[in-house]
Amino acid sequence: SANHIKLPNTATEAEVLKCIASLNGDPAVHGFIVQLPLDTDKPINTEKITNAVAPEKDVDGLSSINAGKLSRGDLGDCFIPCTPKGCMELISFSAFQADLVAAEAPLCFSTASVGKADILVVAAGKAEMVKGEWIKPGAIVIDCGINHVPGAWVMYKDDIEISQSCIPKPIDQVAREVGLLPDEVELYGQTKAKVHLSALKRLKNQPDGKYIVVTGITPTPLGEGKSTTTVGLVQALGAHLHQNVFACVRQPSQGPTFGIKGGAAGGGYCQITPMEEFNLHLTGDIHAITAANNLVAAAVDARIFHELTQTDQALYNRLVPSVSGVRKFSDIQIRRLQKLGINKTDPTALTKEEVNLFVRLDIDPGTITWQRVLDTNDRFLRKITIGQSPTEKGFSRMAQFDITVSSEIMAVLALSDGLDDMKKRLGRMVVASSKRGEPVTTDDLGVTGALAVLMRDAVKPNLMQTLEGTPVFVHAGPFANIAHGNSSVLADKIALKLVGKEGFVVTEAGFGADIGMEKFFNIKCRYSGLRPHVVVLVATVRALKMHGGGPAVTAGVPLPKEYMEENLQLLERGCSNLNKQIQNARMFGVPVVVAVNAFKTDTKAELALVVQLAKEAGAFDAVECTHWAEGGKGAVALAQAVQRASQAPSNFRFLYNVELPVIDKIRLIAQQIYGASDIELLPEAQEKVTLYTKQGFGNLPICMAKTHLSLSHDPEQKGAPTGFILPIRDIRASVGAGFLYPLVGTMSTMPGLPTRPCFYDIDLDPVSGEVNGLF
């Protein structure tokens, strides 16, 4: 078997020598080569590197010892370099016994001598140097070149193969390079770490860098490469243009990793690494959210049960027990008393009426909105009956499980700007209404402090890196439909301080610009106070053809021929969606750079047409990108366009004032962002508008829960539809996170497993310990 070990181009000579020494001493490694020239930003002595390879493992024959034996003729006691040996072996099988002309870079040769050769071996170091007309008919050409040809595509390798072929820098080194102090970093092995919030306090007077958000056109079900573009852009800015840069991305759910979608670390040569760490447990944040969420769910049902089976006095005696003859309210119980208008701190001083108010939350089971969660796709948990054990005395009810990343606690984590703010948001979460129509919160349940304890580590951003050694914060991963679909405010704030005034922070917004970007602006930026400098809008020829009327695109099914062949008319029609999403971004006063994510089936004419139409639609610039195949190098032009755009005026503004009535805020989003003529509230939604306004939640921002496959509510309507009525089926509240989310259609919050899930291909090598099959 063979392994490809790829060090980042920021690796030092000492790091390369350390890697070579490890291979020299590994008995399982029989030989290895060091690929020259070294692609590095650091000064490295090539001769020192090649001579560090043990002669008995120097299969390239480049060390001084092997080269000396070869020149002396000791062919049985040295490695013969594989390229010339391979060429001679090929020649030995040919029928020609004619002259051989070698075209090698430093040597002089004439086109005449090339034209006489029966066999031509070319290793000139320059692509397409030897012309076809120079070679005589019937001659054999052996091309040893490994030169890059622009527009050519690399051989396909699985994402995990690429990820595992690269040796990441030790994460403590990454932390030092970005300016973090040792006591601000909590290591989780060699490849990931948590960053303490004390770093933000230390850097509070440091000016912020440039704030870039990556979004996309309305996608196909396959996705159009926002994560890949985010990583490619930061690799280009950092490893190639030598700017201070950070990526800030969401942590993915494990559900899709084992389901049908796979992981979310980027792809090709633009990945966050190690991808298996990124896509699986990471540092346990999602597990902490699962525990916290389910503690709330357990508290809700337990409270209902105990209130139904006990008198007021029995409840009071258990809620405020006598310890060594002394009864005392806890801090959270004092807050509940104050909320009820009872300004007493002595448990013996409450009247019977006050005791009744204190102990009875009187939850209406039909209004419970808080569900249990699990980070696994399981369709059979979408509707369940709980409380069927005899010990629950017949108090059963219908309930459900959601996937963990849809929990409001995940959205709270993403929007908090510190421990204190997170604790307050956790306490404000509404789980149900009382039979009097009053909101019941986690603070009323008495669970806020326990939630904060469970989340105390999760609030710290996770530090990782890309394949090219640029730093990444991976933190929070809220749904992009019933929540706002963006990574954490805290990660962005710390990153903006670390990169400094001239640096760049690139974050990604989920789904298309009509969903993730709109929520990034109207919700995330509203709460964080941060102001973006540039929008990067990712587009693909594939998706635009779909919007132009192309056949349906289905995950796991080969693409129809319309997507594999040039079709400029179909493409131009589909650019109506690109045009609308550019206008949506510009509506917020931020310059837009379109990243045309190129696929190998795209033609030059198609890519040029998208670039042209994007600029005509008002984009600051539009750039073809090949970062999936080339890494950061393939996104350098995009990075340069982003640099220029970040210097342009940015007059950021919100779409609406939160003081507007709920219906008006929904209508503005529907008309301005989606293209609807109006909205229609179904009876249940109208009742919720009245209820939430009465409960004091009417001034919260709006987080639309809508299909991501169309600008409208109908996933079959492609392009840029107009004139439709947007139906609002229901409205729900995430009061702790801080938004209302209208439901446009039916939203699944628990995915199911397909017939052939990804887990069929996932395995662990018991010898190496490596994970196989993730993508």
Residues noted as catalytic:
226, 228, 250, 261, 480, 511, 599, 628
Residue type (1 letter), 341: G
CA distances from 247 to 273, 468, 495, 627, 631 (A): 13, 12, 8, 15, 15
Tokens of 410: 């995940």
CA of residue 429 relative to chain centroid, distance: 26
CA of residue 464 relative to chain centroid, distance: 12
**Per-residue b/e over 536-566, b at no fewer than 16 CB within 10 Å?**
bbbbbbbbbbbbbebeebeeeeebeebbeee
CA distance 548 to 571: 6
Tokens of 441: 């919160």
Please, how many CA atoms are within 13 Å of residue 505, restricted to the half-sphere of its CB? 29
CA distance 595 to 217: 10
**What residues contact residue 145 under an 8 Å CB cut-off, 6+ apart?**
122, 123, 124, 125, 126, 127
- Consecutive H or E run containing 195: strand 193-195
CA distance 355 to 144: 88
CA angle (250 as vertex; 248, 253 as ends), nearest 5: 160
CA angle (289 as vertex; 281, 303 as ends), nearest 5: 145
CA distance 312 to 332: 19
Tokens of 572: 């131009």
DSSP 71-107: HHT-GGGSPPPHHHHHHHHHHHTSS--S-EEEEETTS
CA distance 621 to 47: 44
Q: Are 620 and 482 in contact (CB under 8 A)?
A: no
CA distance 10 to 451: 41
Main-chain phi, psi angles of 441, to 5 degrees: -110, 170
**Tokens 């963990």 identify what position?**
404
CA distance 339 to 341: 5
DSSP 523: I
Tokens of 566: 């040039």
DSSP 44: -
Tokens of 773: 């099959």
Dihedral in degrees, nearest 10, Cα atoms 248, 211, 9, 124: 120
DSSP 513: I
CA of residue 460 relative to chain centroid, distance: 17
Which class for 470: exposed (0-12), middle (13-18), buried (19 or more C-beta within 10 A)? buried
Tokens of 530: 């941060």
Beta strands in 250-287 (DSSP E): 266-267, 270-273
- Consecutive H or E run containing 184: none
Which class for 513: exposed (0-12), middle (13-18), buried (19 or more C-beta within 10 A)? buried
CA angle (662 as vertex; 657, 665 as ends), nearest 5: 45
CA distance 631 to 301: 51
Beta strands in 387-517 (DSSP E): 397-399, 401-403, 430-433, 439-441, 462-466, 471-474, 504-508
β-bridge partners, 246 = 505
**Tokens 């759910």 identify what position?**
253
End-to-end CA distance of the chain: 21
CA distance 119 to 245: 50
